[in-house]
Amino acid sequence: MASVERVTRRRRGAIVGLGIVVTLGVSSCVGIPSNGPVEAGPEFSAATETDTVFTPIGPQPGAEPLAILEGFIDAFTGTQGDYAVARQFLSSSFQAQWDPRHSVAIRTGSETFRVVDAGTMEYSFTTRAGLDAFGSYTANPLETQVLSYRFVHEDGEWRIAEAPPGIVLAESTFRTIFRQHSLYFYDLTLTRLVPDQRWFASGGTSTRIVNALLEGVPEWLEGAVVSQFPEGTALAPGTTVSVMSSVAQVELTSEAASASPRQRQLMKLQLSESLASVSAVGSVELSVSGSLLAVDPLGTDSPTIDPRVDPRPLVLRDGEFGYAAGEELTPISQVSQKVAELEPTSVTLSVLGNSAAVLAGDGTTWIVRAGQIPPRRLDTRPNLAPPSFDDYGYTWSIPRDHPDQLLVFDFEGAEYPVETGLSAQSRVVSLDVSRDGTRVAILLQTVEGPRLVVSAVVRDATQGYVATSLGPPIFDVFLEPGVGIDATWVDESSVATLEISGEVYTSMLYDIGGFAVPLGRTEPATAIVGGNGRTGIRLLGADGSVSSPRGSGWQRTSVTAEVIATQR
């Protein structure tokens, strides 16, 4: 038996339009783990239809099994014709069976090839992340994958007769070939658009996005979001999404014609927002059986997407609560004084600014409302984490030492248990509901270190949309070893964290369904809150300073505070 380790190797494929040769490493894939650490990477730009195209070379006459396997792996960069070049390395009986879109393993480090016997080879590599068949990205622990390939002689040449489904790509190659897109669904009230991040290879992107959207709500978002396409709706057989003069033409099956006028509006909006990341698409037309589907324009009741908040930090300072601009503090009518009187350590303000969830100075959770309604104490359990709030009027409260004892409270103080599925062995650092109310980000402290979990919020539409449970994690990663301090939603699809390791404070930006980006080291800090995108993040320093991102680090602003609040 022999093995060949390849640390770096010149690949034979050229890149059309760039005129350079690239170094990469790729191959097929197996099942992908569902959790683990996220590796930091550079920021990634929005997708376009004019991506880099690789043109790998097919099998050479007389090639031995090792060269055939290496060529097969090289050819995973060529997505054209449903990986037509890669299929040339397969036996005639296996070409149609192999499924390259089953999954993608994203590898790091060197590759190893081992000859098992005259007709079998193994390919080994270390994975760091992967995609499933629907384009969903999952980070996973660094672990070795070993794949087996069987060879046969066919017309005097070696060909691969058995191979695992899917492909493997080096991270740099993956970033070149694949682009990130957001598929959009609706919250249960049909008033908010909710993203689900997916990755698709370049070429035919619009068709793949539409097909994925028409597959319906993914398992990890069931009970939290809905689609507005009638059941069974699909792209018409034999059609693709064509783009003519910036108009994406989507031919649907007959089920789409049964949609009500309002459904048609929401269907079109779902498609328009999901295709917005494709640069060639400016608008969408729907048709059934060759006839345009009549869709009325959306009015003022159009669902919202990625809602904005006041760009000013919301703070408690010198016994006053309000929006800060330097030394000036603008109070919130009928709310600020009530909040300040509770001597809060944490505040979350509702989207309308007329109510707030407060962790008071005595460690209890309160709801504060505008008008003549006095503040109401909701939760007196010991050692509570800072509460969160959702736009259905529920305050979320959980003891730090009991992740399995999450309660939500309505305005009248009635409590409802929420099944979390979290281990009682971990400790809750922070809990934050997304602005669209469909997901929750929970920062935990475990024996392995800080762990960030994002799950869907399953709600009961028959009982005031109260949360009943958390779905399976959409995102589940262990941060760098250390102690978690805080986490916050930054926008509709990313969460920022603050942690300390030794005496070093650091922050990271995690894309829910993508890569992580370092936000840099910080001065000693106690809290992090989101704003409008990355530039709107604010850090509360241990000395009361408020800092904002600048370049690869942080810069102090003119604002000081004792508490910095979350705005919904």
To which residue do tokens 């999952």 refer? 138
Nearest to 454, CA basis, from 478, 436, 469, 476: 476
Could you tell me the pTM of the whole model? 0.86
Q: What angle do CA 270, 272, 278 make, to 5 degrees?
A: 125
Q: What is the DSSP letter of 50?
A: S
pLDDT classification of 334: cutoffs 50, 70, 90: confident
Give the C-alpha distances (Å, rounded to integers) separating 97 from 93, 102, 133, 304. 8, 12, 16, 43
346 phi and psi, to 5 degrees? -155, 140
| Max Cα distance, the chain (Å) | 89
The domain limits of the chain are: 2-178, 204-305, 314-567
pLDDT classification of 51: cutoffs 50, 70, 90: low
Instruction: Say how far apart CA 262 and CA 266 lie, in whole Å.
Output: 6
What's the CATH code, domain 314-567?
Answer: 2.120.10.30
pLDDT at res. 19:
28
Instruction: Say how far apart CA 80 and CA 78 lie, in whole Å.
Output: 6
Instruction: Say how far apart CA 346 and CA 177 lie, in whole Å.
Output: 44
H or E element: which one contains 2? strand 2-6
pLDDT at res. 3:
52
User: In three state form, how does the secondary structure of 105-152 look?
Assistant: EEEEEEEEEEEEECCEEEEEEEEEEEECCCCCEEEEEEEEEEEEEEEE
DSSP bridge partners of 501: 504
Instruction: Say how far apart CA 507 and CA 19 lie, in whole Å.
Output: 39
* Cβ-contact 451, 478 below 8 angstroms: yes
pLDDT at res. 30:
34
DSSP bridge partners of 518: 508
Asked whether residue 120 carries a pLDDT value surpassing 80, the answer given is yes
Q: What is the DSSP letter of 23?
A: -
Tokens (6 digits) for 381: 């359990």
Nearest to 286, CA basis, from 260, 247, 258: 247
Mean pLDDT to the nearest integer, 56-66: 96
Instruction: Say how far apart CA 359 and CA 397 lie, in whole Å.
Output: 9
Sequence-ordered list of residues with C-beta below 8 angstroms from that of 348, at least 6 positions apart, any chain: 356, 357, 358, 386, 387, 388, 389, 565, 566, 567, 568
Q: pLDDT of 239-291, one tens digit each?
A: 999 999 999 999 999 999 999 999 999 999 999 999 999 989 999 999 999 99
* Cβ-contact 14, 23 below 8 angstroms: no
Mean pLDDT to the nearest integer, 330-343: 95
